[in-house]
Amino acid sequence: MKVVLCELCKVDVTEANLYAHQQGKKHRQLNFEREMQLKRVQQEEQSKKRKEEQKARTKKSAHERKLERVEKEEEEEHSDEEPVNYNYRDDVFHQLPEELLLFIFSLLHYQDLLSLSLVNSQWHRILQDSTLWR
């Protein structure tokens, strides 16, 4: 008769009685407790992992908040400066002769010409020229 050690119960059992032992109340109770302990350990590990992920998100959020604060401070510094007065008449394109603008426009696609006609009244008038639309 061969004797085997039940790893769970830590008792010696004959091979013939091993199945009966495993079906016994004490063995099943210990097996249940072991499974519950494994579940608790897994839940604790998952909980730790979630907490670490949450910390990482919090740190990232804190970093993002710091960046936003710095950007806001930079905007406030620049808002103290006087706004630039832009006179569109000082633009290079407004200083070009209409014939040159007409030539430049002739190199463009008709869809671009339609968009350019909305820029200002001078360009709209130049773009009315029939030579562009041939």
CATH for 113: 1.20.1280.50
Q: What is the pLDDT of residue 75?
A: 76
Query: 13-67: per-residue pLDDT in tens?
Result: 888 887 887 888 887 888 888 899 999 999 999 999 998 888 877 776 777 878 8
Residues 99 and 37 in one domain: no
Residues 20 and 53 in one domain: yes
- Domain of 108, in residue numbers: 92-133
Q: What is the pLDDT of residue 8?
A: 79
Q: What is the pLDDT of residue 1?
A: 75
Structurally, the chain folds into a number of domains equal to: 2
Output the six-digit token pair for 114. 């339609």
Query: 61-96: per-residue pLDDT in tens?
Result: 777 878 888 888 877 776 655 665 656 666 777 788
Q: What is the pLDDT of residue 83?
A: 60
Answer yes or no: is 56 within a domain: yes
Answer yes or no: is 87 within a domain: no
* CA atoms of 122 and 88, how far apart (whole Å): 12
* CA atoms of 23 and 29, how far apart (whole Å): 10
Query: 93-110: per-residue pLDDT in tens?
Result: 778 888 898 899 899 998
Q: What is the pLDDT of residue 67?
A: 83
Q: How far apart are the first and last CA of the chain?
A: 108
Residues 97 and 75 in one domain: no
Residues 71 and 28 in one domain: yes
Residues 110 and 50 in one domain: no
The amino acid at 14: T
Residue 113: CA count within 13 A, CB half-sphere: 20
Residues 64 and 110 in one domain: no
Q: What is the pLDDT of residue 88?
A: 60
- Using an 8 Å Cβ cutoff, are 23 and 29 in contact? no
Residues 60 and 105 in one domain: no
Q: What is the pLDDT of residue 46?
A: 94
